[in-house]
Amino acid sequence: MNIILASTSPRRRELMDLMGLRYEILAPEGEEIFDPALLPKDLVQHLARQKAENVAARSRDDALVIAADTVVALGNQVLGKPRDAADAAAMLTALSGKAHSVFTGVCMFGQGKIVVESEETLVHMRPLSPAEIAAYVDSGEPMDKAGAYGIQGGASLFIPRIEGDYFNVMGFPVCRIGQMLADHFGFSLSFR
């Protein structure tokens, strides 16, 4: 079966490679339809399904499309990717010293099935000084990441612990994806 990753995220590609999967990349087209009334868990599932359906409509019939969407949530307030440096600093200030959730929705579309699930990881961020926030924002790293931070980068210095899947915080819950592939599509993962 031909696997298509509906994402251009370098982190998601890296994690697909880690899983030993052979795949192609086809980015979703058009604007995401974002419903702010949805709870974070429901929102990421909705957005992942949108991406998968968009790519599946432009793919071969025998393809298995895998799409994901990640948000950071402080309570029910969704923090997506920052619009600019000021927005990134505001997000980091809001997260400073608090626990928050990272939700990733995953949709797999293929073999006549649509499977949609989500993963939640609780992330604890230590209190950050204004100087730390400014330096991190100035690095440019927060600008393409939900919640304005990347756990796999400089923000690892800000996070003393998590509860749940580390890879979920990177935007691709590897364990859940492997289980979905096995349970719903008959994949047995190989370790090259």
Structural domain boundaries, residue 68: 2-185
Active-site hit among 35, 61, 62, 69:
69
Residues above pLDDT 90, as percent of the chain: 82
Residues above pLDDT 70, as percent of the chain: 98
At 142 the pLDDT is 96
- Compute the mean pLDDT over every residue in the chain, rounded to the nearest whole number: 93
Residue 121 lies inside a defined structural domain of this protein: yes
The mean pLDDT of 34-50, rounded to a whole number, is 92
Is 69 a catalytic site residue? yes
Asked if residue 21 has pLDDT above 60, the reply is: yes
> What SS3 class is residue 3?
strand
Answer with the residue of higher pLDDT: 161 or 10.
Answer: 161
Distance, in Å, from the CA atom of 142 to the CA atom of 140, rounded to the nearest integer, reads 6
Distance, in Å, from the CA atom of 103 to the CA atom of 97, rounded to the nearest integer, reads 19
| Strands 2-5, 63-74: pairing kind | parallel
At 176 the pLDDT is 96
Which residues are registered as beta bridge partners of 108?
66, 115
The mean pLDDT of 100-127, rounded to a whole number, is 97
Residue 191 lies inside a defined structural domain of this protein: no
The length of the chain in residues reads 192
Residue 168 lies inside a defined structural domain of this protein: yes
Contact, 151 vs 79, CB < 8 A? no
At 91 the pLDDT is 97
At 31 the pLDDT is 78
Phi/psi for 121 (5° steps) reads -125, 135
Asked if residue 1 has pLDDT above 90, the reply is: no
Residue 155 lies inside a defined structural domain of this protein: yes
Residue 33 lies inside a defined structural domain of this protein: yes
Q: How many domains does the chain have?
A: 1
Residue 158 lies inside a defined structural domain of this protein: yes
At 37 the pLDDT is 87
* CATH code: domain of residue 149: 3.90.950.10
pTM of the full structure? 0.92
Q: Which residue has the tokens 């998590």?
A: 162
At 190 the pLDDT is 64
| Residue 34: band (very low, low, confident or very high) from pLDDT cuts 50, 70, 90 | confident
The mean pLDDT of 177-181, rounded to a whole number, is 95
Residue 19 lies inside a defined structural domain of this protein: yes
Residue 177 lies inside a defined structural domain of this protein: yes
pLDDT in tens, 51-93: 999 999 998 888 999 999 999 999 989 998 899 999 999 999 9
At 192 the pLDDT is 55
